[in-house]
């Protein structure tokens, strides 16, 4: 829904449930005079003005585990797809050509997977990657060494992760401190 649509109808409601594409701005929150709760049907709340909601005493909630397994499986699928050059091979095959030697790719076994963010999704990615016999390292300043150890993951600095990883996966909420965490400068340190 567009903000204008929500603003025109939200005044009589006590709750608002949105998905990721719906922006809940200060204007929307102001129009919801009876709002008591704003819920995000999914992970994260980056599309909701949490500061404004909090200022008005409105509770903001999300469903952080709703798509955890799907997101982790999708991450592994994308990594394997890139490692084995599946998108490129598919495009060439559809054009009627097949050059197997051009698309051998690489095995992920014994490769290092760097996981940035070892929360719900990052932890599930680690569990699946362990089954692929990958070496697992992670950067997450909020996770204990014991938690990482139980996942058979080594906690390292962001710099070390970028230097040592063959593959990198990113699983952090979008916040002011994570928005520009990785850029061209940081990726220049990633091994090729």
Number of domains in the chain: 2
Q: Within this chain, do residues 46 and 82 fall inside the same structural domain, yes or no?
A: no
Q: Give the list of residues 6+ apart from residue 98 with CB closer than 8 angstroms, or none.
A: 92
Q: Of 34, 62, 90, which residue constitutes the final position of a domain?
A: 62
pLDDT tens readout for residues 98-130: 877 778 899 999 999 999 999 999 999 999 999
CA distances from 88 to 13, 76, 100 (A): 49, 18, 11
Same domain, 38 and 75: no
Residues 6+ apart with CB under 8 A from 169: 75, 79, 113, 114, 115, 116, 122, 125
Please check whether residues 120 and 87 belong to one and the same domain: yes
Contacts of 190 (CB under 8 A, 6+ apart): 162, 163, 165, 168
Q: Can you give the residue range of the structural domain that contains 48?
A: 3-62
- What is the CATH classification number for the domain harbouring 26? 3.40.50.720
Beta bridge partners of 100: none
Domain boundary residue, one of 29, 44, 62: 62
* 58 shares its domain with 136: no
Percentage of the residues of the chain whose pLDDT score is greater than 90: 71
Same domain, 73 and 165: yes
Residue 15 has pLDDT above 90, yes or no: yes
Residue 114: per-residue pLDDT: 98
Q: What is the pLDDT of residue 20?
A: 86
3-state secondary structure of 41: coil
58 and 77 belong to one structural domain? no
Instruction: Specify whether 146 is located in the same domain as 164.
Output: yes
Q: Are residues 21 and 89 in the same domain?
A: no
Instruction: Give just the sign of the alpha carbon dihedral 155, 160, 165, 170.
Output: positive
| 111 and 18 inside one domain | no
Instruction: Kindly state the tokens that stand for 125.
Output: 């990615």
Q: Quick one: 33 and 84 in the same domain?
A: no
Q: Quick check: 192 pLDDT over 60?
A: no
Between strands 167-170 and 37-40, the pairing is: unpaired
Of the pLDDT bands very low, low, confident and very high (cuts 50, 70, 90), residue 191 is low
My answer on whether 115 and 98 are in the same domain is yes
Which of 11, 39, 62 terminates a domain? The answer is 62
Q: Are 17 and 45 contained in the same domain?
A: yes
Q: How is residue 37 annotated by DSSP?
A: E
- The number of beta carbons lying within 10 Å of the beta carbon of residue 166 is 18
């Amino acid at each position: 829904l567009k903000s204008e649509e929500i603003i025109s109808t939200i005044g009589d409601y006590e709750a608002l449930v949105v998905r990721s594409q719906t922006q809940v701005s200060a204007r929307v929150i102001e129009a919801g005079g009876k709002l008591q709760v704003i819920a995000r049907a999914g992970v994260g709340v980056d599309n909701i003005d949490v500061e404004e909601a909090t200022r008005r005493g409105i509770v903001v909630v999300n469903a952080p585990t709703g798509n955890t397994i799907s997101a982790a499986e999708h991450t592994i699928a994308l990594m394997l797809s890139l490692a084995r050059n599946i998108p490129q091979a598919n495009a060439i095959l559809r054009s009627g050509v097949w050059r197997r030697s051009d698309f051998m790719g690489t095995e992920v076994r014994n490769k290092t997977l760097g996981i940035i963010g070892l929360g719900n999704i990052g932890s599930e990615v680690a569990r699946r990657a362990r089954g692929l016999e990958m070496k697992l390292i992670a950067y997450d300043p909020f996770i204990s060494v014991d938690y990482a150890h139980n996942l058979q993951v080594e906690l390292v600095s962001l710099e070390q992760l970028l230097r040592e990883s063959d593959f990198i996966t990113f699983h952090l909420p979008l916040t002011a401190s994570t928005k520009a965490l990785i850029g061209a400068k940081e990726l220049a340190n990633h091994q090729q």
